Structure 1
Amino acid sequence: MTAYRISLLAGDGIGPEITAVSRRLLEAVAAREGFALQFESWPIGGAGIEACGQPLPPETLAACQASDAVLLAAIGSPRYDALPREQRPESGLLALRAGMDLFANLRPVTIRPALMGASSLRPEVIEGVDLMVVRELTGGIYFGRPKGRVESEGGIRAFNTMTYSDAEIDRIAAVAFDLAGNRRRRLCSVDKANVLDVSQLWRDRVNAMAADHPDVEVSHMYVDNAAMQLVRAPRSFDVLLTGNLFGDILSDEAAMLTGSIGMLPSASLSAEGPGLFEPVHGSAPDIAGQDRANPLAMALSAAMMLRVGLKQESAAAAIETAVDRVLERGYRTVDLMQEGCTEVGCQAMGEHLLTALAG
């Protein structure tokens, strides 16, 4: 029997609650499909700080690097806001991405038919939306040097550096072109080339690679226009390619097309090592421990892990079908609640998912 080693990073806030649901789903679908999952739980974020004083304990990074895939729930809590930036939970996530060389972030945005009425946009705008945001994850302004603060007689000045090399742009663009070639063959590269030198290089490299992909229709869009078009005409997009900062913002905006940020998974991939799979939402500390969390994005992230990370297509499709069945049956967590539906908590939603998975 094929066995996979999975690092589970429950993290903070609602993380342990939604991780428990996904672990049960994964165990059930693995038993049904005839493979084994060996889970190891490790601390990160605030949980890492509590465990050993670091947001990314060295043991956690080593375990993730040695695993077949990593499933992360969420990190962060206001209780750590007073710490120096390098000691906060978010720094642990950035360090994990860098340590695993997770340069490519994939965020699919698909409208599930049962949730058409949950979006703040009209059904005729979002019907049929199926797009993929490809975000560069280990470069750009989040990692650029120099950065910091300086004091002078004129006051305090803070600065960060947005920087990309041609090699960094080429490897993320290659991922986006490959995805577009297997989808609807349209790639929109998002930048700010009318203002930023780094975006001008970005556009030059994408255009150079386009010559090797004549089957893919390539367009360019400034980030401000892209933000507008995502809510005006989201069906016009297939694959969106962009850098770290712009991708961070646009992918969260795109998530709300579905009605809740609690519905979308993501994958962060390296060139050779294991991938990291996580929901796009945060740790929601205000509802942690209250059984109000929506576990569906975590469940869909588990499905994405099965498909992309472990090549278990049938198992991935089974979890996605279970999510659709539960929604079609009218069960909703509070963030998705609609008239005529039945509100359930995180644990009950997990039970309904297991029932739907069983058929």
Structure 2
Amino acid sequence: MKIALFPGDGIGPEIMEQARRVLAKLDLPGLVVFEGDVGGIAYKRHGHPLPQETLDMAKAADGVLFGAVGDPACDNLERHLRPEQAILGLRSHLGLFANLRPATMFAGLEDMSALKPEVAREIDVLIVRELNGDVYFGEKGMRTTKSGEREGYDIMSYAESEVRRIAQTAFRAARGRKGRLCSVDKANVLETSQLWRDVIVDVSADYPDVALSHMYVDNAAMQLVRNPGQFDVIVTGNLFGDILSDQASMCVGSIGLLASAALGERQTDYGTFGMYEPIHGSAPDIAGQGKANPMAMILSLAMLLRHSLGREADALRVEKAVAQALEDGVLGADLGGTAGTAEIGNAVLEQL
């Protein structure tokens, strides 16, 4: 088994170190670990945020664990040289089209949510977001109208094959959970969404064991606040998924607890190739101070173990260790506690 670790910038190296300690504790037989530079540190060392040698490491691995990128010192670089291009480049080169973002309310942290505790307690949702299409990747530009005004435009589009493959990913995910899938669109006003809904319904015939429902995106946003416990798996497009996944993450109280996976079609000897990362950024304001919460990074490792290495038992061990550490009151500053990065890592290791 081969894993590539890309710590990146800001707090990335600090939280990656705790994930590395968890890997060592698991003592997986035959594991080979690569480590490469991405983001601002890669630009400073190699002249590009995604050097070829880093990309080669990713392609040779069964899964990639990604820290964070972003460096204020690089803000004035040309766009193609900025740290964030490392994420986009990896997604593109590695064919990663499905973003999985689980949001679960950990026991004892209900008061951290902006929602009422009795509502927050029910949150256990997986959002499956399409990553390679939609308005972000459609034709875009600036033009002048007949009246001489400037007009910006961005074209939203999806091909049937793009919808079909994300639908299959979502149905498989729902099959492994509670067997419920809610497809979110805006089919009442958007032709793109009508195609989306038609294809989702078509694919559903292959998954008779999964209960399919549909919801317009504005209602879905409201329901995530009103009654989030009704959702098991949500599948949606790039734009809607971008918004809803961030909304769901804050419903559980802190982005310092939330992991994500970006999966493609490539299969390894053990599972599906993917890149795994916490949903938070590089947090340069606290970098190097030992204050960052590494739990999202450790939970991202658990997702890698599950999806790319086929080690479900080890993934569950890691997730239970994180949950128990939280229940024991080992909380970082993002959760109102005083525990530092290494202290949180130690607590997870003790539970393991």
TM-score range, shorter chain: over 0.9
Residue in structure 1 matching 2:6, options 9, 18, 23: 9
What is aligned with 1:52? 46
Q: Which moved more, 1:129-138 or 1:181-190?
A: 181-190
**AA aligned opposite 2:325:** V
For the residue of structure 1 that corresponds to 2:266, the secondary structure is: coil
The answer to whether the Cα contact below 8 Å between 1:191 and 1:202 also exists between their aligned partners in 2 is yes
> What's the offset of the Cα at 1:356?
2.1
Q: Residue deviations 1:190-249, cap 9 Å, x none?
A: 112222221111111112222333332222212121111111110011110001111111
- Counterparts of 1:132-151 in structure 2 under 5 Å? 132-144=126-138, 146-150=139-143
For the residue of structure 2 that corresponds to 1:271, the secondary structure is: strand
The answer to whether the Cα contact below 8 Å between 1:187 and 1:241 also exists between their aligned partners in 2 is yes
What is aligned with 1:353? 348
> What's the offset of the Cα at 1:22?
0.5
- 1:23 paired with 2:23, answer no
> What's the offset of the Cα at 1:155?
5.4
Q: Residue deviations 1:41-71, cap 9 Å, x none?
A: 1111222222222222122112101101100
The answer to whether the Cα contact below 8 Å between 1:114 and 1:324 also exists between their aligned partners in 2 is no
The answer to whether the Cα contact below 8 Å between 2:38 and 2:51 also exists between their aligned partners in 1 is yes
What is aligned with 1:96? 90
> 5+ residue gaps in structure 2?
268-272
Q: Distance in 2 between matches of 1:253 and 1:168?
A: 24
Q: Residue deviations 1:241-262, cap 9 Å, x none?
A: 0011111111111111221011
Q: Distance in 1 between matches of 2:114 and 2:31?
A: 38
Q: Distance in 2 between matches of 1:60 and 1:160?
A: 32
The answer to whether the Cα contact below 8 Å between 1:150 and 1:156 also exists between their aligned partners in 2 is yes
TM value normalised by structure 1:
0.91
What is the count of residue pairs matched by the alignment? 346
For the residue of structure 1 that corresponds to 2:77, the secondary structure is: coil
Q: Residue deviations 1:4-33, cap 9 Å, x none?
A: 21111111111011001110111111x2xx
What is aligned with 1:334? 333
The answer to whether the Cα contact below 8 Å between 2:123 and 2:252 also exists between their aligned partners in 1 is no
Q: Distance in 1 between matches of 2:140 and 2:343?
A: 46
> 5+ residue gaps in structure 1?
none
What do you get for the CA RMSD once the two structures are aligned? 1.8
What is aligned with 2:258? 264
> What's the offset of the Cα at 1:37?
2.7
The answer to whether the Cα contact below 8 Å between 2:122 and 2:228 also exists between their aligned partners in 1 is no
- 1:307 paired with 2:306, answer yes
Distance 1:17 1:127, change over 3 A: same
What is aligned with 2:270? none
> What's the offset of the Cα at 1:150?
4.6
TM value normalised by structure 2:
0.93
Q: Which moved more, 1:20-29 or 1:105-114?
A: 105-114
Q: Distance in 2 between matches of 1:150 and 1:82?
A: 26
For the residue of structure 2 that corresponds to 1:220, the secondary structure is: strand
The answer to whether the Cα contact below 8 Å between 1:265 and 1:301 also exists between their aligned partners in 2 is yes
Q: Distance in 1 between matches of 2:318 and 2:43?
A: 33
Runs of 4+ residues over 4 Å off in structure 1: 150-153
- 1:188 paired with 2:186, answer no
**AA aligned opposite 2:18:** V
Q: Distance in 1 between matches of 2:140 and 2:71?
A: 24
Q: Distance in 1 between matches of 2:222 and 2:196?
A: 21
Q: Distance in 1 between matches of 2:174 and 2:109?
A: 26
> What's the offset of the Cα at 1:151?
6.6
- 1:199 paired with 2:196, answer no
> What's the offset of the Cα at 1:324?
1.8
The answer to whether the Cα contact below 8 Å between 1:27 and 1:37 also exists between their aligned partners in 2 is no
What is aligned with 1:343? 338
Q: Which moved more, 1:108-117 or 1:257-266?
A: 108-117
The answer to whether the Cα contact below 8 Å between 1:266 and 1:277 also exists between their aligned partners in 2 is yes
Q: Distance in 1 between matches of 2:190 and 2:229?
A: 28
